[in-house]
Amino acid sequence: MDFLDMFHVPDTEEGKRDIKWIEKAHIVMWLLKDMSWVNHWRWVGMAAILPTLGLAIKIAYDSRHSMADFVHDVAVCCWISANITWMLGEFFVNDETRPIAKVFFYLGAVVILSYYAYAGSKRLLHAHRLRHQVPQAQESLGGRSDAGARPGDSDADAALGQVQR
């Protein structure tokens, strides 16, 4: 068994349990890193950097098939990178790395906000297309605007109800 094989997560129920184990290990390492930072345990904090960031990158890589999960996991990688930069600055250079840490924080925010802007616009576009299908839906219903409608539904909502059901 190759060293990297132990980090492979198969697409099975067992694989889902394995990724949960990796996520839990990641949280433990993240907490250890932050606890070391707060307590000013320089070498413990330094030792926790690679496993914390490495597991975060592994989780993001494994989630690449789901855009929503991947984007959030990349933002977590940015956040951890910011924390690491800030921590190292406080440990070794009189907190002079905070401006660099801000870049990682902002990058994570841009990743998340871009995703939600894209997903929101895609959802609005889809709803707009459904609304324009109303005349076609009414024609397919034989001109009856009340087919499948509930009391109080507009014609557009009735057609949307037919399309969504």
The yes-or-no verdict on residue 94 having pLDDT over 80 is yes
Q: Is 99 among the domain residues? A: yes
- Domain span including residue 24: 3-111
- The total number of structural domains in the chain stands at 1
Q: Is 152 among the domain residues? A: no
On the 0-12 / 13-18 / 19+ scale of CB atoms within 10 A, 153 is: middle
The yes-or-no verdict on residue 1 having pLDDT over 50 is no
Please report the pLDDT score of residue 60 as a whole number: 96
Please report the pLDDT score of residue 97 as a whole number: 96
pLDDT band for position 155 (cuts 50, 70, 90): low
Q: Is 124 among the domain residues? A: no
Please report the pLDDT score of residue 164 as a whole number: 45
Which of 98, 90, 96, 55 shows the shortest CA–CA distance to 76? 55
Q: What is the mean pLDDT of the chain?
A: 81
Q: What is the share, in percent, of the chain residues with pLDDT greater than 90?
A: 58
Both tokens of 38, joined, read: 């707060």
Please report the pLDDT score of residue 151 as a whole number: 53
Q: Is 157 among the domain residues? A: no
Both tokens of 14, joined, read: 């067992």
The yes-or-no verdict on residue 6 having pLDDT over 50 is no
Stretch 28-44: mean pLDDT, rounded?
A: 96
Please report the pLDDT score of residue 46 as a whole number: 96
